[in-house]
Amino acid sequence: MLAVLAPGQGSQKPGFLTPWLELPGAEARLRWWSALAGLDLVHLGTEADADEIKDTARTQPLLVAAALLAAEHLPMYDVGVVAGHSIGEVAAAALAEVLSPEAAITFAAVRGREMAAACALEPTGMSAVLGGDADEVLAAIEAAGLYPANRNGAGQVVAAGALASLEKLAAEPPAKARLISLSVAGAFHTPYMAPAEQALGALAGGITTGTPSRILLSNRDGAAVDHGPTMLQRLVRQVTAPVRWDLCMQTLAEIGVTAIIELPPAGTLAGLAKRALKGIEIITVNTPDDLAAARDAIARHGAAPSFEPSPQFHVVVVTAAGTFTPADGLAEGVDLRAGQVIGHVTTRQGAVEVTAHEAGTLTEWLAHPDDPVAPGQPVARIGGLL
C-alpha cells in the first residue's frame, strides 16, 4: 500500500514552483486558483522572496496549490492513503475528494488570513523541542504555560504560546533536550487561534463535501475519517488542536504502508518518516523530474486498476485501532439507515462507535466479533448491485 503526503507550513522555498510552470496547463491552473485565493500564486511560487512567502496568509494557499498541482500529474486512482501535516491536511482532503480543488484553495486562503489576524492579537510564537524523554518534555511544556502544538514523532515536539512562556522554557529546558526558536507568526494549533476557528466554522457551512475515495488520515488522532462532513469539521477545529503527526505515522505503519510519496515542497515529512518508519520506500517530489519515480512507486506499491464490471457498494471503515464488536442483532441482509451504529471498536481509551454514513443493505460483514482492526480497515459492506 502507498501513501501520498502533503507538507505543512515552513516547507516552502523561494521559486519552488518555477519548474512546474513548464508543464502544459500548469500556469493557467495556478491563475484560476489565484483568483479564488485573492493572491498571485504564480508570483509567490516563482519570484517572491523568503520573507514574502513566510507570511501565513500567503503561504497556506500556496502550499495547498503546490500539492494539488503536482498530484494532478500522478495516477491518484491507484493511491490507497493520503494525509497532510497542518495546512497539508486541507490538500489531503482534496486528494481524497472530500473537498473540490476550488473549495480547498478557498478554505486555505481564508484559513491563512484568519490565522494571521489571530497571530496579530498578542505576541506568541513556537519553539521546536528536540530530544529528551517524551513525558518530561510534555511536562516541561505544560509547566511553562505552553501547549504541545505539534507532536511530530522522532523525538520532535513543538511548543507554542506566549513569548514570555517560551523564554521560560528556553531558560529551563527538559533534560537532554534542545530548543530551536521557530520563525513563525504566532502560536498555531493552540487556543490562541480561536478567532480563526470561528471564522472557518462560518465558512464551512457553505461547503459541500464528498465521501473519501481513499483512506484519509486525520491530524487530530491519526484516525481514518470516512465521512466528508466529519472531515470538514475536523479541518475547522484543527487550527486550535495539536497536530498529532506521530499518530498519523503510527497508523501508516499499522495499516501496512510500504511506500510514501511527499508532494512539493517535499523533504520535511520524508525526514520524519525515515526516522520513524523503517524499511519503507520514500519518494520526494520537488520538480516534474521527480514524477517518473513517483509513478513507478505507485505502480509497484499501489492498487492495480481493474476494468472488470464491479458491484456498486460502499464499505464502512473503522477510525481507530482495537477490537471490533458488531451491534447486537445485526445480520447480513438487514436494511440500515444513515447514521445507524453498527458496532464499536474497543480501544485503550474506551469504545469508539462505528457508524453507517449511508443507508442500504448490510450485504456482508468484513470483520467479526473480537477481530483486531486498524484505522481505515473495512468492517462491513453496504449496498449491492445497482
175 and 293 share a domain?
A: no
List the CATH number of the domain containing 168.
3.30.70.250
User: Is residue 306 assigned to a domain?
Assistant: no
202 and 104 share a domain?
A: yes
User: Is residue 359 assigned to a domain?
Assistant: yes
Rounded to an integer, the average pLDDT of 266-286 is 95
DSSP string, 53-85: HHSHHHHHHHHHHHHHHHHTTS-GGG--EEEES
30 and 99 share a domain?
A: yes
User: Is residue 307 assigned to a domain?
Assistant: no
Strands 259-262 and 360-365: unpaired
- Scan for cell 488542536, then name that residue: 241
275 and 209 share a domain?
A: yes
- Is the pTM value of this prediction over 0.95? no
214 and 339 share a domain?
A: no
User: Is residue 337 assigned to a domain?
Assistant: yes
List the CATH number of the domain containing 29.
3.40.366.10
Domain limits for position 332: 313-383
- pLDDT at residue 31, rounded to an integer: 97
Sheet of strand 378-383: strand arrangement: 313-317, 378-383, 360-365, 335-336
- pLDDT at residue 309, rounded to an integer: 44
- Name the domain count of the chain: 3
User: Is residue 246 assigned to a domain?
Assistant: yes
229 and 366 share a domain?
A: no
72 and 165 share a domain?
A: no
Give the residue among 227, 232, 201 at the shortest CA–CA distance from 353.
227
User: Is residue 76 assigned to a domain?
Assistant: yes
Chain-centroid distance, C-alpha 193: 18
The answer to whether 86 is a known catalytic residue is yes
Identify the burial level of 30 via C-beta atoms within 10 angstroms of its C-beta, where 0-12 means exposed, 13-18 middle and 19 or more buried.
buried
Which residue, 236, 270, 301, sits at the end of a domain?
A: 301
169 and 28 share a domain?
A: no
366 Cβ contact partners less than 8 Å away, ≥ 6 residues apart: 315, 378, 379, 380, 381
Which residue, 245, 268, 301, sits at the end of a domain?
A: 301
User: Is residue 239 assigned to a domain?
Assistant: yes
The dihedral through the CA atoms of 210, 211, 215, 220 has a sign that is positive
How does pLDDT run across 165-193, given as a tens digit for each residue? 999 999 999 999 999 998 888 999 999 99
Catalytic residue among 11, 34, 85, 86: 86
User: Is residue 379 assigned to a domain?
Assistant: yes
Which residue, 182, 208, 231, sits at the end of a domain?
A: 182
Catalytic residue among 11, 34, 165, 189: 189
- pLDDT at residue 308, rounded to an integer: 43
105 and 126 share a domain?
A: no
302-313 as b/e, with b when 16 or more CB fall inside 10 Å?
A: beeeeeeeeeeb
213 and 273 share a domain?
A: yes
- pLDDT at residue 60, rounded to an integer: 97
- Where does the pLDDT of residue 313 fall: very low under 50, low under 70, confident under 90, or very high at 90 and above? low
**Angle at Cα 164 formed by Cα 160 and Cα 165, nearest 5°?**
45
21 Cβ contact partners less than 8 Å away, ≥ 6 residues apart: 27, 30, 42, 46
161 and 70 share a domain?
A: no
Q: Which three cell numbers stand for residue 265?
A: 515542497
List the CATH number of the domain containing 348.
2.40.50.100
How does pLDDT run across 345-381, given as a tens digit for each residue? 999 888 999 998 888 889 889 888 999 988 777 888 8
Has residue 64 got a pLDDT over 70?
Answer: yes
130 and 79 share a domain?
A: no
How does pLDDT run across 230-249, given as a tens digit for each residue? 999 999 999 999 999 999 99
Give the residue among 221, 216, 224 at the shortest CA–CA distance from 241.
221
Q: Which three cell numbers stand for residue 57?
A: 496568509
